[in-house]
Amino acid sequence: MLQKVVRSTIIDAPIERVWAVLRDFNSHDQWHDTVESSRIEGSERSDQVGCVRSFTLRDGNRIREQLLTLSDTEHKSTYCIVEATLPLQRYVATVTLKPVTDGQRTFWHWESTFSTPPGRERELREMVAQGVYETGFENLRRHLRQGGDLQAPGRAAGAMPAALAVPTRRVAVERYGGPEELRPQDGEAAAPRAGEVRIRQRAIGVNFIDVYLRRGWIPSALPLVPGMEAAGSVLDVGPQVSGLLPGDRVAYLGPVPGAYCDVRCVPAEWVLRLPAAIEDEVAAALLLKGVTADYLLRDLARVQRGTRILVHAAAGGVGLLVCAWARRLGAVVLGTVSSEEKARVAREHGCEHVIVTRDYRFADAVQRACGGADVVIDGLGDAARDENLAALARRGHWISLGQASGPLAPLPADALVAKSLSFSRPVVFDYVATNEQLAERAQRVWSALSDGTLKPPPIERHSLNAAAQAHARLESRATIGALVLLP
Ligand SMILES: NC(=O)c1ccc[n+]([C@@H]2O[C@H](COP(=O)([O-])OP(=O)(O)OC[C@H]3O[C@@H](n4cnc5c(N)ncnc54)[C@H](OP(=O)(O)O)[C@@H]3O)[C@@H](O)[C@H]2O)c1
């Protein structure tokens, strides 16, 4: 009686990557553990219908198989055993791939029919199902994870996997101080450890937190490489990483600094695959700032139609995103900026009432414009402290998310009581503490960009080597929108 074995699985890789391996009839000795060595007979190509592969298994058995059909449009191939030292007779197998709807994964169906000597049906069915198919699924996964398919010449140049340390250029701070303390130096990016991904970075986001780190306002061990986010491509992945493969275009965000470099290992938990529509520089400019705008407006300010929201540094990296998003949610948006040029850009991004001030005097203007703010989004810190209290409406909420003007002096609870105010001191990393949270918030940012809720902000570019210049510009209040470093 004819035996039938059917197995299927999902592979964490786009269909073209899986197919690029499987359509090569002679690739199996590179990825399938049970195959010792394989060659195509004669001078045929390994994707030529009719070609015969002759291979030896690790247990010493030898098999010759012929390729019967191969369809690049259906991602399907059929083959049969012509001759074997194993008692598999009339063996015909079919491999079929289908894309999973997210486009990043592949459904792989593998089936065969064959006959066996009487009494050996079960043993041989088991051997094909487990020894060939299930093992093959696992082995191909490992092969893709290690970038084996990218090693073929001509494929995905620049995304070659590297199992050893690779040279990296980074910008480090040896002692706390001004922008001049940011100095380029050469180093090495070690191979990724368990749970890690090594990334070739193409754009690095600059955030004000990088300045606090450099100044020592957030204490950290020296030497310090600043930077909390970047975008680029996966070079290779360590053990126990799933869902990310060499060559994937990604961005990451995480609570441990170190992004000012060209190659970096980071925990896979921090990493997201990027949609095709989001370019590297946009991802680096927007990921941290965009998810910050998302948690501020959704989780903390709970902005609704009519909420009066005051956004400081309204033409800055975070400011422009908060203004545009809050306006789309129906808020009354007020903002402070230090120049007419910034005022123009803030208005273009949804800030209705712009207050131009360089010396943190805005409370009267806010009271006049709307009777007080329900929410203040404050990245200024100490210099705006008293004016913030005066600008807030009854039961208003002061969200202190940064300290560009200097660390906020301790705030006694009594300072809040006169108007029943509330005060928050949030940090973005607590709002993206898992990969699911990060992915969900980032997806809302990318969707807001694609549906026009967020206008792409201006991006100021500096080379990685010129990180000191980027910091000097950010601290001089000269920049509009976001800054990125290009390795
Ligand atoms: N806690 C969090 O989760 C979180 C996350 C992201 C960002 N942040 C904070 O949000 C704020 C904005 O960050 P960003 O990266 O987007 O920076 P940014 O707003 O692009 O740049 C900072 C802006 O602050 C204003 N500023 C006022 N006084 C300043 C001073 N003495 N020195 C320098 N700048 C001064 C300037 O705008 P004007 O000249 O128009 O006043 C300047 O352009 C920062 O405080 C940052 O730490 C917090």
Q: What is the pLDDT of residues 303-325, one digit of tens each?
A: 999 999 999 999 999 999 999 99
Domain end call among 118, 150, 182: 150
SS3 assignment, position 346: helix
- Which CA distances in Å does 423 have to 107, 300, 374, 414? 50, 10, 12, 12
**Model confidence pLDDT, tens digit, residues 103-123:** 789 999 999 999 999 999 999
Give yes or no for residue 317 CB within 6 A of ligand 1: yes
Shared domain check, 140 and 20: yes
Domain end call among 150, 174, 202: 150
Shared domain check, 127 and 201: no
Report if residue 293 sits inside a domain.
no
Shared domain check, 141 and 26: yes
Shared domain check, 34 and 60: yes
Give strand pairing partners of 101: none
Report if residue 282 sits inside a domain.
yes
Report if residue 294 sits inside a domain.
no
In this structure, how many other beta carbons lie within 10 angstroms of the beta carbon of residue 356? 16
Comparing C-alpha atoms, which of 159, 102, 438, 148 is closest to residue 271? Answer: 438
CATH number, domain with residue 183: 3.90.180.10
H/E element, 267: strand 263-267
Comparing C-alpha atoms, which of 87, 67, 83, 76 is closest to residue 19? Answer: 76
Token duo for residue 219: 């204490």
CATH number, domain with residue 410: 3.40.50.720
Shared domain check, 365 and 264: no
**Any residues with CB less than 8 A from the CB of 119 and at least 6 apart, and which?**
none
Give yes or no for residue 79 CB within 6 A of ligand 1: no
Give yes or no for residue 475 CB within 6 A of ligand 1: yes
Comparing C-alpha atoms, which of 276, 254, 140, 277 is closest to residue 199? Answer: 254
Give yes or no for residue 321 CB within 6 A of ligand 1: no
Give yes or no for residue 319 CB within 6 A of ligand 1: yes
What is the pLDDT averaged over residues 197-207?
97
Give yes or no for residue 346 CB within 6 A of ligand 1: no
Report if residue 339 sits inside a domain.
yes
| DSSP 8-state assignment for residue 192 | P
Shared domain check, 279 and 224: yes
**Model confidence pLDDT, tens digit, residues 24-61:** 999 998 899 999 888 889 878 888 999 999 999 989 89
SS3 assignment, position 158: coil
Shared domain check, 19 and 117: yes
Shared domain check, 403 and 311: yes
Shared domain check, 388 and 459: no
Comparing C-alpha atoms, which of 434, 386, 443, 378 is closest to residue 409? Answer: 386
SS3 assignment, position 208: helix
Instruction: State the total domains in the chain.
Output: 3
Q: 452: phi > 0 → left, psi -120 to 50 → alpha, else beta; which? A: left
**Among 477, 480, 484, which is best to mutate for testing ligand 1, by the most ligand atoms less than 8 A from CB?**
477
Report if residue 298 sits inside a domain.
no
Contact in structure between 97 and 73 (CB atoms under 8 Å): no
Single-letter code of the amino acid located at 38: S
Shared domain check, 181 and 102: no
| Measured distance CA(353)–CA(356) in Å, rounded | 10
Give yes or no for residue 324 CB within 6 A of ligand 1: no
The pLDDT of residue 145 is: 82
Most confident of 24-33, 92-101, 308-317, 451-460: 308-317
Q: Where are the beta strands (DSSP E) in 338-458?
A: 353-356, 373-378, 392-400, 422-424
Comparing C-alpha atoms, which of 326, 360, 335, 318 is closest to residue 209? Answer: 318
What is the pLDDT averaged over residues 440-450?
96
**Model confidence pLDDT, tens digit, residues 336-379:** 999 999 999 999 999 999 999 999 999 999 999 999 999 999 99
CATH number, domain with residue 73: 3.30.530.20
**Model confidence pLDDT, tens digit, residues 131-163:** 999 999 999 998 888 776 654 433 333 333 446
Shared domain check, 361 and 408: yes
Report if residue 160 sits inside a domain.
no
| Residue with tokens 């948690």, as numbered in its chain | 295
Domain end call among 425, 453, 470: 425
SS3 assignment, position 101: coil
Report if residue 296 sits inside a domain.
no
Contact in structure between 321 and 289 (CB atoms under 8 Å): yes
SS3 assignment, position 29: helix
Shared domain check, 352 and 242: no
Check whether the bond before 275 is cis (ω within 30° of 0): no
Pairing state between β 392-400 and 196-206: unpaired
> What average pLDDT does the chain have?
93
Phi, psi of 446 (to 5 degrees): -65, -40
Report if residue 297 sits inside a domain.
no
Domain range holding 104? 3-150
> Given 3-state DSSP classes, what are the helix, strand and coil percentages for the chain, each rounded to the nearest 5?
30, 30, 35
| Measured distance CA(214)–CA(320) in Å, rounded | 25
* Closest approach atom of ligand 1 to CA 317: 16
Q: Cα of 74 to ligand 1 centre, how many Å? A: 53
